[in-house]
A = this chain, B = another copy of it.
């Protein structure tokens, strides 16, 4: 039996800001894992549940929902418990979606779970697909019609309260022919070229010279 896990970003709360890819995953999977902060595993106060329900309503589909109790503390045992709920779901279902608010890349629970799955169940990890979504700050920007960055300005995302923090750096808008000497490598560096287009290339290192218009360097925090 082919198991498959989708980590689905739901975006910033507006069901129309869900991507078509996320919607397809939710429609095609056998059951949806929905986080709840209620210890009795009810969905009374779950924002995520509200979005998933509204989506099923608007797009005429219905899936079994698996409640995943998600306390606000950051305990390894809590992540393990959530991973166990997923494993448990796979006893009944072949394809599961696990939904997360906003975008998976930005302060999402899913990477605590994926870190565990990667070690305990590498074959499940390998077939797990992460589906990116709209971030809350992109939507905030759209609402007030103000850019977060434009031209020669930068953007920083900081968790509160602020301390001395490891930081991912995304380097955008390079020019073709530019050498990359000025980019300091501090964490784990990747070069993304032509993302999602023909000749897409993703390499886990810094390219020495920019050769494509669509190039992104990401130095992931360590």
Contact = CB atoms under 8 A, between A and B. Distances in A.
Nearest to A118: B145
Size bin of chain A's contact surface = 35 or more
B190 A112 contact: no
Contacts of A220: 146-148
Interface string A195-222: 1110000101000000000101110110
29 contacts: A13-B195, A14-B21, A16-B19, A17-B196, A19-B19, A105-B137, A107-B149, A108-B150, A111-B147, A132-B138, A132-B142, A133-B134, A137-B170, A140-B190, A144-B204, A149-B159, A149-B221, A152-B166, A153-B165, A154-B156, A154-B167, A155-B157, A155-B167, A156-B156, A156-B168, A156-B170, A160-B173, A160-B182, A161-B182
Given A107-B147, A154-B168, 14 more contacts: A103-B134, A104-B142, A105-B148, A108-B150, A111-B146, A111-B150, A133-B138, A134-B134, A135-B138, A137-B172, A148-B170, A153-B221, A154-B221, A162-B171
